[in-house]
Amino acid sequence: MASRNITFDPDSGVAYGANFILNTGANFKADFNTYNTSSAVFNFVGWTGSSAMTKSVSIGSSSYPAATFNVGFTSAAGGIFNISLGSTATRTLTEGRYVYDVLVSSGSTVYRIVSGNILVVAGIASAP
């Protein structure tokens, strides 16, 4: 999957919007290259991250979150992080529209940096 370039403005309080399609039973990974409002690379050295998703309409659902992403800073100094789910985790998801967000924190300060929708689809073809 291609990398997304995002602008992170901690003062705005608004998350960057990014939507994805996730195939059940497949590995999922989304990369983000983060810049500040001056177009300079955002430095995440010393930061941590977390991310989760849930069905956008949870009628009758008692499982929150539906999945918890792994958040990795592949280059904290270079502003690059990713979220990922392995095929074992995606295999347990039911089809539908989900919402997700990514939180990053430094000390006691927490920012919602990215959020959006994830459409989970199952394959319709079978291998020959």
Q: For the domain that residue 39 is a member of, what is the CATH number? A: 2.60.40.3350
User: Which amino acid, 90?
Assistant: T
Torsion, Cα of 109, 67, 8, 107 (10° steps): 20
Residue whose token pair is 């039973």: 25
Residue-wise pLDDT tens digits, 63-110: 678 899 999 999 999 999 999 999 999 998 989 999 999 999 999 999
Within-domain flag for 73: yes
Within-domain flag for 126: no
Report the pLDDT value the prediction gives residue 71, as an integer from 0 to 100: 95
**What percentage of the chain has pLDDT greater than the value 70?**
89
Give the chain's domain count. Answer: 1
Within-domain flag for 94: yes
User: What's the pTM value of the predicted model, to 2 decimals?
Assistant: 0.87
Within-domain flag for 105: yes
Alpha-carbon span 62 to 12, nearest angstrom: 33
Tell me the residue range of the domain where 85 lies.
Answer: 3-121
Residue-wise pLDDT tens digits, 17-71: 999 999 999 999 999 999 999 999 999 999 999 999 988 765 555 567 889 999 9
Residue 116 Cα to chain centre, angstroms = 8
Report the pLDDT value the prediction gives residue 55, as an integer from 0 to 100: 85
Residue whose token pair is 């810049």: 35
User: Strands 16-17, 109-121: parallel, antiparallel or unpaired by DSSP?
Assistant: parallel
Residue 9: other Cβ atoms inside 10 A: 14
